Amino acid sequence: MTPRISVITVTYHATPLEYLYLWSLAASGLKHSEVIIVDNTGKDPILLKIKEKYPFIRIIHNTENEGFGKACNRGFAEARGDIALFLNPDTIVPEDLENQILEFFKTHPRCGAMGAMMIDGQGHFLPESKRNFPTPAASFLRFSGLDKFFHSKEERWSYYVQQSSSNAPFKVPVLSGAFMAVTRKAMQLTGGFDPRFFMFAEDIDLSVQIARARLEVWYNPRIRIIHFKGQTSRQSRNYPSLFHNSMSLFYQKYYKNHHSQLQCFFIKSSISLLKQFAQWRMFFRNSTSGKNSTQPSFTQESSYRAIKAIQPKAISGTYSKNKKPGLLLSTLELSPSKLITLIAERSPGEPKIFLYHDETGNLFELSDKNHFVQILL
């Protein structure tokens, strides 16, 4: 049977985190979907091991790292579904994802692309779920961190869409490439992702092009996913340069022929400053990474099955007075939707969540905001 949805994921030096991503996809039963992974590493050994556990995936091995957008297009060229779901490998999705996507496009026939509500591993809402078109001023405020001190109700000053809705979908200018469901018609009318964007800004560009093709771009908070933000981009050491190159290309495509020389000078100067900010953030992130916790202890509400599996491997499974215990959960005893709800509804000060992937013996810790620590057993 021809699939109706083609899930397309691009990887570069895959990590065991992808076990959780595929665990959540497999929970849906994949009655209407195919899963295509484009390997930008080329014969990635970790990815080959992952396929042994999840044989339903189809892997396209590239001979070189051709970037996110071009690899997405390559995956779409092999796709058979009428809807392409471009999905990051550092995500966890609910098991009713297929029905939610199909129902949404059925009730919104003019929709060309649809995004979801994204939260991080601590339950914090990720505002990039719904973004505005990045004006130079809004981009500078956002990436310099000055947006925290500048408050305006006008969308032109805001990098993110300020409109909020508890559970009702609404149209937005820009979606995130971490989760972007695009119709085949929209991909054909726009030509898909602009391959000149190696990484970053390609999702902004495609969102704009879909709207210019007179199709609608929607944000759908009824679909809620976990996105371990930054886990994909961290695989690239050239993050600052890639970011700078994409922003420069974006300027060339959307601003160069529509602004005065003074405005263009300001925009180019802002892009250079943004590269510096990216380099500083990269340095800070690297200097604080690797501080993984060891010997975790667990609450009484934890999974007995998971504790029993972990104990023989010298990981503490009992309460420790010296450390605040965490909540240990098992992928065999928990659905992706329940995990997403549990994380979304967490209150400050609640125990950390540890997730044990029963099929592989990997223990994952959801720690500080936007950080995902893996403990290999």
pLDDT of residue 167: 81
Question: Architecture of 5-235 per CATH?
Answer: Alpha-Beta Complex (3.90)
Residue 302: Cβ within 10 Å count: 23
pLDDT in tens, 95-154: 999 999 999 999 999 999 999 999 998 888 999 999 988 776 776 666 666 666 677 666
Instruction: Parse the chain into domains and list their residue ranges.
Output: 5-235, 239-288, 304-375
Nearest in space to 217 (alpha carbons), one of 330, 89, 129, 95 = 129
Question: Is residue 163 within 8 Å of residue 198, measured between CB atoms?
Answer: no
pLDDT in tens, 215-225: 999 999 999 99
Question: Is residue 244 within 8 Å of residue 274, measured between CB atoms?
Answer: yes
The rounded distance, in Å, linking the Cα atoms of 274 and 268 is 10
- Sorting pLDDT into bands at 50, 70 and 90, what band is 289? very low
If you average pLDDT over residues 261-275, what whole number do you get? 49
Residue 281 has pLDDT above 60, yes or no: no
Query: What angle in degrees, to the nearest 10, is found between the helix axes of 261-288 and 136-144?
Result: 20
pLDDT in tens, 49-68: 999 999 999 999 998 888 89
Residue 184 has pLDDT above 80, yes or no: yes
Of 41 and 367, the structure prediction assigns the larger pLDDT to 41
pLDDT of residue 298: 86
